[in-house]
Structure 1
């Protein structure tokens, strides 16, 4: 692809939006700042940030015109641009006063929406759409003294109670049967110490009139389980509530609980009984209720919501779980961007839309903070989150004292900014997130939480323990010891207590001191005894022991510091985190490190090339894939040999282009020419056949009226070059003689402002342009007459289209927009692009580059949110994200390009670096639909994967697991989604079952030419869900939606027949079957929540063995026998794995405790061939490993293997045991290497090898340098 890396002038890595100085003081002041910067040559914001203590984002946002910058940021901006600080301080104060006056006037017309914050009783006049639910709740609470409201996060429970129920209770009632007015209405949230905090509020109000009840509204009842760590206090609080609400009393209790905590409520028998009587579900709002919630608050304030905006909101929110707070915030921001009295769709888009508004607000606030303030904000926000334990994360209120992080003034400034942006709320001396939606909606916060999850759990416990210690007068008995102290030290090693409050740091220091004193006391006693020994035997042994102890303690601290730093970096720099994992492994091998490295080996890792001295703006691969060209705003083009094991040294000297910044690069199809273009209309061609000594051809071209050239691209025959520029034109050049390029026809006007990108279709006859005004246009390349338009421009994005790319077959066009989205278009018709599917919205900032992989199934997008995202576009109408966003760049990305082999991706951006990303071959993406099953053939060289709507089973040669090769022919013949696949023991036969209930057998004697062997129609009406061969290969077991399992004699493929009667003991779908290794026992798992064992020694008379296994609380999704046949594993929708001793199949007994760790249902279980490890996959998108060497004491082996973005539907071990395959609903299969040495070699080869001593000391300044890849 041609580069898109140039922005007119020398701007920061994102296009500055147009300002209207007449729109008010904020935009006028921003325009003045921009004019000042223009007057000194428009230095880049990166250059400016290098000279002042503010980030690139803070400086760019100062001139963005969204809100007035702080005085400190303003003066820093002015200082760099040579302005008079006194004059600019006067300007700033004048603008601030005018903005404050406008804000005061705006306050008088209060906003009709509350944003992320809940509606309070005083907001009842703006609370619409829940009238019927309020009616039902009011009636329910008057009939019952204890009422519960359940609903998912974001369903509006808090607002329902506060702005719905409470005003209704306080409204005077008339008539003979009218209820009395409440004696009092009290609202509370449990917090960490519910009984001690609220004991005085759990009694009826004194002096109440007869019949007047006291109403107690307990909001966020789930805090009992997320914040209260003492089960005794929790139960006592519930008991008090239930006793207070007993019949005949004068107190009524209403609780609001998040729906995913229903199971925790059921742990209290009396509470369970109370919930049976009066429970209300706050479900999704109907379309008409949503309309009321959108339109009527605005009408109450004399405003109008544009019909198009109303319709769009209804469409977006109606099926969006938890979408109400996002809608409220988006409407609040739309109100702030309104024009006159109308809330328009344009204002809504400017605000960021449903999911973008929260992100935009949060990122704008974060970007305006100084680096120290930004770090304070991270620490404050993480303190306000309670990480979930099998449940989603929740918000956590914190007292102001807990936010004392050593910089009171800085903390106050950060809190003020976050509160003013309505991201936090202050209430009764506490601070909390405005809504839990912020946790999931803001990617930056989500990344922080995921990176710190284990540390956060330790921190929450430490905070509670420190508070208890203080409350007990700092008693030694309340200090940490043993494993709790060790965990706290791992999370917060000495010298890294900045994230602790003074009280927490004192508590940890006191605990450490107490342990040290105890150690010295023990050592003193030991020394006294040893003295007698030393007299006789010398001091050598004791000295060695003391030295070894000191060394072990030192190594513990070093190891903990490295692993903590790796976890901190993982969300923002996966390659760097992986290199630290390797470094830690050099000290110690732990299960956590081994699973981390297994995950690392399945990630897209990158090598950083030194890049440029200013913004990296363009990258392009030569057609042979051995050379990469990069261009930057330092005015140079560099060539890199990407075929070398270490490509970090550039080839030859930098190439220079006249006119300054390089904005675009393109190789000719034969790889002999390189075109570069940039500022001032300059275009340069080089002969690059000798990569070390490229030769310039002819004179530089100056075109596009001296305006910057933004993009260049060659026709497939290499004889024509297209250029696009800031003058809004498209131009074609005859480069048949590259030393004498000649224009072809006249320039074509392609945009009224600027053409951001141009690309030829693969046929060379058509090309497309991307416009600054948000349009895409197709052109006929023509000949001597130049380009001719095909149809009219197509509005593609709400803001500038920054990049576009054709798929290799030419039928699809991808576009990237400044509106943070990527779109796909059908251009097979040749004249007008037609949209395919919905916009892709995973990025949180402007998308600046898109490129198709050579297979046409993969698309990459790069954005100003510092990430690259890969997409499966095999079905372009339904794209699917592949894996997590790629992180490693520290500032916005400008350009990307695929290597011709499709396995390497190059990126560059505002952090000046160039990165080579290595796409792992062990992530299989050749699917257009969710996967349902994976299975290895017994020899281990063949892997089968089944998928849904395309009704295929695909085959891979996995003899080299790091380089799987898809076989040319899939198993075709099913007419419905394939749900299961299994191999026979001989490896030459496979079976598969589909949604229509058909089971098929396949002859795979030659895997490259599979042959249908048998068809069993209607084997299971409603769906054949599972298949498994007996160890002798003569019998096939199947299970299905008809609630039955069946046995089939498959010895004669031409005459497959059912054996015996169907196995009919289950009462719901049979989703899993498995044979024991001796073939005598069959296990079945069912959605009736049971697993069963069957005696199948006599296939004609199979019979059930013993009682059904009923320990699971939900569907049993998977069953598997250990290789020796004496242990059975079951995985259930209740999120657990269970092990069973089936030595005597008639008297099965459970082994040990249930295995927990999955945060969603367990879908699949598989034993390793040695029986010592079990793998499970789940709805939480994770694969987990379990150490089952001693099945009575099984435990988790390390952390989860992550990479899937949707439910993991199937897991299977390879026969060698060092490889595991998984399938997912995210359209991928993954092959995980469990060989740690192989994973290390992979990480080292893909990330550039050892960390340099300089980089090591930047990350780990207190630790001596250690080579990482030896």
Structure 2
């Protein structure tokens, strides 16, 4: 090839030929380097490099960049030039005469029952599902987002059932539903078996069963709906039920014990496609439409999707976009690259639509798309279908135009007034939308709760008891009090306004009660103080009267004790003690000392000569302490006159003795103050 002369290329023949002509010129400007030398520098074979400049098809970007580096060209400029050639080639590819042809691929939208003629690659999984339904009246298919469960049910299973002549699989009717926010209430009529003379069963297919966890927030209604479905386990119900559940909600199904029991041995897993199945999904729809797919493109798609879990919607979308950029009857690698390849096709389509929006339309698009998202809580984010009236009640006139544009681009679906994301792949494959979700995750959670609470309030006839209060109102105000009016629907705005008004009314009522309580408290406080003063005065008066009576009685007893000293000393002593205990007046002390001193005097005179300098009676009058000139303290029993104890307190004379109030401690003092 290196020594053979290249066929001439006319740059005016098209973008591919023009790009090949420019590559050849680059090699010539590099000194006419041979393809053999070029291959040694570039790391690609001679044939690959020569075909890159042959003008028959656009080379891949890695080959172009290796070619350019080997020739000493500017890599950045050539990469931009290659992308321009890709766009030009794709734009010139589609034939005019079939511009309105029906595409063989569905893009992000699911296959429907009428699409079975172009639904390929899932024959084995469909057969497994049919076999499961032969054995079980209640079953489920689990699979990750993007594994094609919805398309499998509609374009694979349902057409089989519709044409089945097998007794157990010949349906009286086939009903397909998605749970939504109020499944038990909304779908009760669909769970009544159809009348059939043949005694056949009604098949109920519940797609996106995970909505019972993401959209239905009433645990009781969720349980009722599941119980309704589980009646299919009984043959007399004349129902058969098949659930399609996203794989990351498998654990949530175990929260309902009977549901977990029913699915233990009654489920299949929708895994990835085999290479042969992927090849069928790529090639056979095109073949059915009279088209072909370049072998290199087929091989690349099979390789890339095999390594992409949940990559089927990406495959379907990039095939649709490649079909739009086809050359004649062929889907080309150039068209695939122009579409953005597997990872970038969704983002490219979305950005192309978004870039055509005005500023107001872009704002409406952001609000609309975020309303169609339920942020995950320990699980991946999910779609949230919304009524078109909800979206348009935001108040932006641009919303309707935005919805129509996104539906035309197959990024949204519009079905019987319900707007939904075409596929959850949008949530991760469109960086702009993914960024919006991450920036507003907590606000989105609060918004979903606000939307639900507002609808409950509306359903209850705007009952005051359904309004937000406390922390829920505080959270809503934190996120939405300063938000633009267009962020909330009319209902949400009315609900939040009513909640704040109810709180203000409660606060005003509480303030009035507080003021009344304060006035009442002040009045009661004054009355209480007056009552306390009166009580204290009365108490003190009673206390004073009691004390006066005690003093008078003490004096009377002391006087009687003195009178009886000579005739009845024992009685005199007893009366003196009682007089002292009642009130230690001077008369009582003197009487007690006189009565006690009579037997003590004899004892003192008999046992001890020095005179007593001080004495003190205990509070109960039963003990007498004396202090003498020699510093000795003597403790006497006043009843018997006997000496109880003898203690040395000081080196010199003891001048002071005194008992504590409880009579357990005695204090003494001498002349030096010790």
Given the two structures, how large is their TM-score scaled by the length of structure 2? 0.63
Distance 1:172 1:274, change over 3 A: closer
SS of the residue 2:378 aligns to: coil
Which residue of 1 is the match for residue 545 of structure 2?
none
Equivalent position to 2:479, from 467, 471, 491: 491
CA distance in 2, matches of 1:499, 1:178: 54
Distance 1:172 1:281, change over 3 A: closer
CA distance in 2, matches of 1:534, 1:412: 63
Distance 1:270 1:483, change over 3 A: same
Instruction: Name structure 1 gaps, 5 residues minimum.
Output: 1-17, 21-60, 69-98, 538-1270
1:307 pairs with 2:299? no
1:252 pairs with 2:240? yes
- Measured against aligned partners, the alpha-carbon deviations of 1:1164-1220 in whole angstroms (never above 9, x if no partner) come to xxxxxxxxxxxxxxxxxxxxxxxxxxxxxxxxxxxxxxxxxxxxxxxxxxxxxxxxx
Which residue of 2 is the match for residue 455 of structure 1?
443
Aligned positions, number: 441
CA distance in 1, matches of 2:200, 2:190: 16
SS of the residue 2:397 aligns to: helix
Equivalent position to 1:402, from 370, 390, 412: 390
Which residue of 2 is the match for residue 145 of structure 1?
137
Which residue of 1 is the match for residue 226 of structure 2?
238
2:373 touches 2:384 (CA, 8 Å); kept in 1? Answer: yes
Question: How much does 1:138 deviate?
Answer: 1.0
Question: How much does 1:489 deviate?
Answer: 0.7
Equivalent position to 2:113, from 121, 129, 141: 121
Higher strand share: 1
- Which structure 2 residues correspond to residues 13-412 of structure 1 after superposition, within 5 A? 106-107=99-100, 109-173=101-165, 178-179=167-168, 181-205=170-194, 207-407=195-395, 409-412=397-400
SS of the residue 2:367 aligns to: helix
CA distance in 2, matches of 1:318, 1:461: 39
CA distance in 1, matches of 2:469, 2:138: 42
SS of the residue 1:388 aligns to: coil
CA distance in 2, matches of 1:349, 1:67: 9
Which residue of 1 is the match for residue 492 of structure 2?
504
Distance 1:243 1:234, change over 3 A: same
Which residue of 2 is the match for residue 437 of structure 1?
425
Which residue of 2 is the match for residue 517 of structure 1?
505
Question: How much does 1:527 deviate?
Answer: 2.3
CA distance in 1, matches of 2:383, 2:393: 19
1:405 touches 1:499 (CA, 8 Å); kept in 2? Answer: no
CA distance in 1, matches of 2:356, 2:515: 59
1:424 touches 1:434 (CA, 8 Å); kept in 2? Answer: yes
1:413 pairs with 2:401? yes
Equivalent position to 2:514, from 498, 518, 526: 526
Question: How much does 1:316 deviate?
Answer: 0.5
CA distance in 1, matches of 2:477, 2:281: 50
- Measured against aligned partners, the alpha-carbon deviations of 1:565-610 in whole angstroms (never above 9, x if no partner) come to xxxxxxxxxxxxxxxxxxxxxxxxxxxxxxxxxxxxxxxxxxxxxx
CA distance in 1, matches of 2:210, 2:365: 26
- Which structure 2 residues correspond to residues 849-868 of structure 1 after superposition, within 5 A? none
SS of the residue 1:426 aligns to: strand
- Which structure 2 residues correspond to residues 557-568 of structure 1 after superposition, within 5 A? none
1:184 touches 1:213 (CA, 8 Å); kept in 2? Answer: yes
1:202 touches 1:244 (CA, 8 Å); kept in 2? Answer: no
2:394 touches 2:487 (CA, 8 Å); kept in 1? Answer: no
SS of the residue 1:340 aligns to: coil
1:405 touches 1:411 (CA, 8 Å); kept in 2? Answer: no
Question: How much does 1:531 deviate?
Answer: 4.9
2:15 touches 2:89 (CA, 8 Å); kept in 1? Answer: no
- Measured against aligned partners, the alpha-carbon deviations of 1:209-257 in whole angstroms (never above 9, x if no partner) come to 3232111000000011111111111111000000134233311100000
CA distance in 2, matches of 1:442, 1:370: 19
CA distance in 2, matches of 1:411, 1:245: 45
Superposed CA RMSD in Å reads 2.5
SS of the residue 1:363 aligns to: helix
Given the two structures, how large is their TM-score scaled by the length of structure 1? 0.34
2:119 touches 2:155 (CA, 8 Å); kept in 1? Answer: yes
CA distance in 2, matches of 1:354, 1:309: 11
Question: How much does 1:408 deviate?
Answer: 5.2
**Structure index of larger Rg:** 2
CA distance in 2, matches of 1:326, 1:149: 21
